[in-house]
């Protein structure tokens, strides 16, 4: 983007909004919003405290385990649904219901079923991510060119070879798109899980800081969370761009 003939680097608008935040914070308009500089200073003061490190580890563990299960279950299920009419008829209504359902309302049920520990948090995370991954993998497989399927078949591909050498790769652009959206939803899932199920990880920090009106701490952790989600999503988007050269001509 250019403004007044000067070429601006990417994300310059963030500087503007940061400035706006700083001014509102300094004006003392509300205790809820301390100045950005104070938030950043707080971030550096808490980043190497044991409480923060513990929260980060707990959250990362639950998040990674949840995303991993969602990917490992979601991609094969989606491919199977795209390839098999019967499986598709059986599962599609459920996938669509859960995709749009308010999953937060299900969390108490999960607590009853799986207890108040890490397991329930991981399952909540996976539940937030898995449906969109399934749907995208399914859509990716369904748009595979008929002649590519015929090609695999006519050269004698076994079902496993067709899956691992043709269908997976042909659907990869859509699959990665699904994983990217799934990962963003998983961030929501892990925090909601930590807030509702057992107060651990970042969820515990949010609870602690907001209950004690430690607003600059609260915002510091929130910014860390936003930044992590953003980096994950951008990393996957970069991966997506690497396969996009063949997305247009399959």
Give the CA-trace dihedral at 147, 153, 156, 160, to 10 degrees.
120
Are 218 and 132 contacting, i.e. CB atoms less than 8 angstroms apart?
no
Q: Is 239 in the site for another protein (CB under 8 A)?
A: no
Helix (H, G, I), strand (E, B) or coil at 89: helix
Supply 92's token pair: 């599609």
Q: Is 152 in the site for another protein (CB under 8 A)?
A: yes
Minimum distance from CB of 241 to another protein (Å)?
14
Q: Is 243 in the site for another protein (CB under 8 A)?
A: yes
Minimum distance from CB of 34 to another protein (Å)?
50
Distance CA 242, CA 250 (A): 15
Q: Which is nearer to another protein, 172 or 183 (CB)?
A: 172
Are 229 and 187 contacting, i.e. CB atoms less than 8 angstroms apart?
yes
Site string for another protein, 161-190 (x = CB under 8 A): x---xx--xx-x------------------
Q: Which is nearer to another protein, 73 or 148 (CB)?
A: 148
Q: Is 241 in the site for another protein (CB under 8 A)?
A: no
Q: Please choose, from the candidates 104, 41, 46, 61, the residue with its C-alpha nearest in 3D space to the C-alpha of residue 200.
A: 61
Task: List residues binding another protein (CB under 8 A).
Answer: 145, 147-148, 150-158, 161, 165-166, 169-170, 172, 243, 245-246, 249-250
């Amino acid at each position: 983007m250019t403004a007044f003939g000067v070429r601006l680097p990417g994300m310059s608008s963030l500087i503007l909004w940061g400035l706006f935040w700083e001014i509102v914070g300094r004006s003392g308009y509300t205790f809820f919003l301390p100045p950005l500089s104070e938030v950043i200073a707080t971030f550096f003061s808490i980043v190497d405290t044991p409480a923060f490190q513990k929260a980060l580890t707990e959250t990362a563990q639950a998040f990674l385990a949840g995303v991993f299960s969602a990917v490992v279950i979601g991609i094969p299920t989606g491919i199977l649904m795209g390839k098999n009419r019967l499986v598709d008829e059986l599962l599609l209504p459920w996938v669509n219901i859960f995709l749009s359902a308010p999953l937060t309302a299900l969390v108490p049920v999960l607590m009853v079923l799986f207890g108040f520990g890490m397991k329930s948090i991981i399952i909540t995370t996976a539940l937030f991510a898995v449906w969109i991954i399934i749907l995208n993998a399914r859509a990716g497989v369904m748009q595979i060119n008929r002649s590519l399927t015929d090609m695999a078949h006519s050269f004698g591909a076994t079902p496993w070879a067709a899956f691992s050498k043709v269908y997976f790769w042909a659907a990869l652009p859509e699959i990665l798109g699904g994983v990217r959206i799934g990962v963003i939803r998983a961030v929501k899932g892990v925090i909601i899980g930590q807030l509702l199920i057992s107060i651990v990880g970042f969820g515990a920090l949010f609870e602690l800081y907001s209950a004690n009106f430690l607003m600059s701490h609260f915002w510091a952790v929130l910014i860390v969370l936003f930044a992590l989600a953003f980096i994950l999503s951008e990393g996957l988007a970069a991966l997506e761009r690497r396969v996009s050269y063949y997305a247009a001509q399959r």
